[in-house]
Amino acid sequence: MLEAKRIFWLEFIGAICMILLGSAMHFACSWCGEWKPLALLAAVNESIWEHLKLAFWPGLLWACIMPLPSHLGRWEVVSAKGFSLAITATLIVAIFTSYTAILGRNLLALDIGTFVLAICVGQLVLFLLLVNRTSLLRPLFVVGLAALLVQLAAYSLFTFFPPDHWLFIEARTGLSGIPVK
């Protein structure tokens, strides 16, 4: 019970860190004069895809640096994080596209609420995975590691080489990828 409480608070702190760091990363490229290497981590435009990175990179960082409870290994935390980050990204896309389809436009308050809610749900899933480590959940850790590797590859590649898909296109301008000056 004590370990579960500790994991809960660690993941709660992780959610706060993800929200704050991800929010700052939204503006990092413009703050740094559009420095291209930073585009790997920070949003370069207002596409949905670029907003997914704002949850992914801080979440991965937290999984790599958070203090570990004595019974958990770093690989367990990181692989479970891969699963929870996939859920976070899925929720961001699902909630955003649903509410904008209903309203016909996006609202900043709902965009921020979507980001916060998706991160909190992802962290809750991570908490449940780490607390309920049974033999039945072991396959989820393998899936989580695979999901993490796919996400790492995708986030590393698609900012620089975005596919021609609505997820990567900024609705306001119709552009994708790193803006050309």
Tell me the per-residue pLDDT of 110-130, one tens digit each, with 9 for 90 and over.
Answer: 999 999 999 999 999 999 988
For residue 160, pLDDT over 70 is answered with yes
**C-alpha span between 159 and 39 (Å, rounded):** 7
Quote the Cα angle for 9-66-113, to 5°: 60
Is the pLDDT at 136 greater than 60, yes or no?
A: no
Looking from the CA of 31 toward its CB, the CA atoms found within 13 Å total 9
* DSSP class of 67: P
* Residue 76 is assigned to a structural domain of this protein: yes
Record the pTM. Answer: 0.89
Tokens of 19: 């929200």
| Token pair in block for residue 35 | 């420095």
Containing domain of residue 75, as a range?
2-168
Domain count across the chain: 1
Residue 15 covered by a domain: yes
- Asked if the structure places residue 177 within a domain, the reply is no
Q: List the one residue out of 99, 154, 118 whose CA is nearest residue 19.
A: 118
